[in-house]
Structure 1
């Protein structure tokens, strides 16, 4: 499995885990290739992600799919669209992996990935490139702080579930309302505080920023994971760095989306931001 040779996976089943979250469980003959790459990641990242490859209708693609060959031999309108998504979990015994999609409305909203996930059925085929990642919880920290919205929640949940007993973690998660609260099971001492935006549009509130600033800050060392809408880069991150004194090496920040911007516009914006992604270990 390489950058230009994504694996071919098949939808096994779908689950509506919350009104705004649909889980797509994938498997198939290429699962072993993916699982081998997953186990072979440089670190045991809990924010592991892959790039879903959406092929254009009406074109015949090489089999197995080779993205380099596609770009060299096919017209640009046939070039696949790639979208980055967190790997929610991997079950090697069942030979399955899951990806959770934020769904807007019955048709999945605008774009490519949401509508595909909204109508996905068992037997549908999707290609996946990766995986990769950038965050490993440091269980020696006095507190692991997680801050995010629905887009960041799959990585937050995967991280919380991976924690061993004796570790203390706090997650602040913004969702539409109580029906969007998703249970997380962990051996660690985990507290999840759900922040409900109600009728407000996602990405327009200050709920997460306000909640972080209102925390009764613990003594000791805090490692923070802040992932979601791009406004968190300008609000929560500087507060943690400048006012709370978290070391840059102890913070993982990434913008997953940007309100009012298409996916392509967000990708262009993110490519121009030197600080759109901050990984632990950065001095």
Structure 2
């Protein structure tokens, strides 16, 4: 997440003929341990018996949302989850849970341990400063999981593109590919100090791109557009800053003809907008992208 992948479906308006759907109440988790993997990435392991109701999602881009709340009681429902309706009702006027989405790096169902990697940019944001100061034992609510994508087994070439927010999902995807997979993963991070050792098939090249801080995503886009185009069918995963994702998606769909069903592309975050603001405007952003493709005659 690592923000944020598209979140779990919440309550939906009945307009447009869509049925209302409620997301399950979250579970209560405790911080078991935290490890600084790089200057910009903290690995957080959550667990405890209160996580027993949590059920994992099988997709490589499986994600959860962490709910940040003021201290207070966490009443449970009959199935052992946190009664979020009761928690919300007890909050002061004008205060609401702040949600941040993160890829599930791994989940150990036997040990009830959920691992997420959190991007840290100094004192910016909500989750980053929280992760940077963890000592163990802290409580956090976990909602989800969601997920919709895993690397296809019937493509000839994989293309994985993302920034630090997408790095955990790319890492999971690389680990799940068969040994004979071929392709390239392009990941933009702040600098050499933020590069990680990742497990990948021998035929999948990993290219690190160091960000231009004045224009995040620019070097990522330039690198992808300069890649030699492979023969055969390409399966692509493109996630990260919305502007960069839009440019890469346009290139893949309009210039390279990558089929929609072979592409997972989404803005995890948007430059200059906080997470709440991005969630409010993301649907319109998606609609604009899809209209551009439809105008070009792409289904």
TM-score, normalised on structure 1? 0.87
Structure-1 separation of matches of 2:24 and 2:94: 18
Residue 66 (structure 2) pairs with residue 49 (structure 1) = no
8 A contact 1:19–1:179 mirrored in 2: yes
**Mapping 1:1-283, distance limit 5 Å:** 3-34=23-54, 37-38=55-56, 41=57, 44-57=58-71, 59-63=72-76, 65-72=82-89, 74-105=91-122, 109-187=123-201, 189-197=203-211, 200-201=212-213, 203-275=215-287
Question: CA–CA distance in 2 between the matches of 1:203 and 1:101?
Answer: 22
Distance 1:225 1:216 in 2: 17
Taking the aligned partners of 2:198 and 2:38, their CA distance within structure 1 comes to 13
Q: Is the 8 A contact 1:17 1:23 kept in 2?
A: yes
CA distance in 2, matches of 1:258, 1:138: 27
Count the aligned residue pairs: 267
In the TM superposition, what is the alpha-carbon distance from 1:186 to its structure 2 partner? 3.2
Question: How many angstroms does 1:164 deviate by?
Answer: 1.8
Deviation at 1:139, TM superposition (A): 1.5
Does the aligned pair in 1 maintain the 2:182–2:201 contact within 8 Å?
no
Check whether the contact 1:203–1:259 (CA below 8 A) recurs between aligned residues: no
- Conserved? CA contact 1:172–1:194, under 8 Å: yes
Q: Using a 3 Å threshold, how does the CA distance of structure 1 residues 141 and 19 change in structure 2: closer, same or farther? A: same
CA distance in 2, matches of 1:71, 1:122: 25
**CA contact 1:176–1:196 (8 Å) conserved in 2:** yes
The answer to whether the 8 Å contact 1:255/1:277 transfers is no
Q: Offset of 1:264 from its aligned partner? A: 1.7
User: Offset of 1:185 from its aligned partner?
Assistant: 1.2
Distance 2:209 2:96 in 1: 40
Cα drift, residue 98 of structure 1: 0.8
In 2, are the aligned partners of 1:23 and 1:98 still within 8 Å (CA)?
Answer: yes
- What is the distance in 1 between the residues matched to 2:195 and 2:91? 44
Seen in structure 2, the aligned counterparts of structure 1 residues 202 and 182 have a Cα distance that, compared at 3 Å, is farther
Q: 5+ unaligned residues in a row in structure 1: which ranges? A: none
Structure 1 residues 150, 203: closer, same or farther in 2, change over 3 A? Answer: farther
| Alignment CA distance shift 1:144-1:205 (3 Å) | closer
Question: Which secondary structure state, in structure 2, belongs to the residue aligned with residue 114 of structure 1?
Answer: helix
Q: 1:163 to 1:15 in 2, by over 3 A?
A: same
